[in-house]
Structure 1
Amino acid sequence: TFYAGGDVLWLILIVAICLWCLIIERLIFFKHNYPLLKANCLDLWEQREDKNSAYALFIRRELISAVFIQMNRSVAIIKVLIALCPLLGLLGTVTGMIHVFDVMAVTGTGNARAMASGVSQATIPTMAGMVIAIAGLYFSKLIEEHVSDESHHLAGLLKYH
């Protein structure tokens, strides 16, 4: 059960909820908001008459950078939360092992039933932290690749003569 994972598992759950909210927000952004942002950027560039001066190159770079910043928003937070999940799992391992050693200290040789809750507190958060981190890492890389691909695609669409 969820309670067998100890208090640290609740913290991992909170981090996981935050992580998945940010990932889903980025996926929704690319599905709905980014096409409008790209179209707006292309319209701004097409409205320019001068597309071959140094100032036009500066404007082009600024447009691409502004879109890149919008696409990359909250990716750093996603990476931090992904890195935090295994560390919280390790914290759960440590607290679970402390519980096991407390049981051993109280009962002497160790009562297997009493130690079982500490062992589950040691293993369940570790597993949960790793599973969440691996799944989050997959989607984080997917988002980063999409940002890179779309940045290069946008740079190709904004013709500089």
Structure 2
Amino acid sequence: MNQGGQVLWWLAAVVLVKWLLVIERVLYLLITYPKQQQGWLRQWQARADQTSWHARVQREGWLSEARIALSQNLNLIKVLVAICPMLGLLGTVTGMISVFDVMSTQGSSQPKLMASGISLATLPTMAGMVAALAGMFVHARLAKVCHWRELKLEKLLRSQ
């Protein structure tokens, strides 16, 4: 962390928040949502009238509730994923500025000094890209699972 500069700490904070939100979504999908789904199905099956306009509106209301609950925090995760490479790039730019500052004071005749400085300056970019790639895959998977769950609930409510 010291080699990559202060921006790596900001990147670490963004990555931590992103993974906490991912864990929250996974726990919701595994624990809370199945209970909610069973509740909606029980309420639907308990209705004597399932074909009237009021019944259809109630079903659409439950589907809307499910859609909102399933997609909660997905956009925030997506934004945090998009921020990761930008923070990495910011770290690289600030690192390169410090390399140029050292070069201006000590001269540019020492290639070893320049190479090590440039190497340290690119660490934040690599960290930002790794964090963004991992986040992209997880976000895409979560979005797909949420969409599948929503479609499954709609199918279950319509087939009753």
TM over 0.5: yes
4+ long deviations beyond 6 Å: none
Count residues in correspondence. 160
1:28-66 CA-partner distances (Å, limit 9, x unpaired): 111111110110111121121211112211111110110
CA contact under 8 A between 1:4 and 1:117: conserved in structure 2? no
Distance in 1 separating the partners of 2:34 and 2:16: 27
Matches within 5 A, 1:56-71: 56-71=55-70
Q: Quote the residue 1:16 is aligned against.
A: 15
Aligned residue identity for 2:104: A
Please tell me whether residue 74 in structure 1 is matched to residue 73 in structure 2: yes
Q: CA deviation at 1:111?
A: 3.5
CA contact under 8 A between 1:5 and 1:125: conserved in structure 2? yes
Q: Quote the residue 1:159 is aligned against.
A: 158
Q: CA deviation at 1:109?
A: 2.1
| Runs of at least 5 residues in structure 2 that lack an aligned partner in the other structure | none
- TM-score, normalising length from structure 1? 0.93
Matches within 5 A, 1:42-121: 42-112=41-111, 114-116=113-115, 118-121=117-120
Q: CA deviation at 1:112?
A: 4.0
Secondary structure (helix, strand or coil) at the match of 1:4 reads coil
Share of identical aligned residues, percent?
41
Distance in 1 separating the partners of 2:61 and 2:108: 69
Q: Quote the residue 2:125 is aligned against.
A: 126
RMSD of equivalent CA atoms: 1.6
1:23 to 1:140, Cα distance in 2 relative to 1, 3 A = same
Aligned residue identity for 1:70: A
- TM-score, normalising length from structure 2? 0.93
| Runs of at least 5 residues in structure 1 that lack an aligned partner in the other structure | none
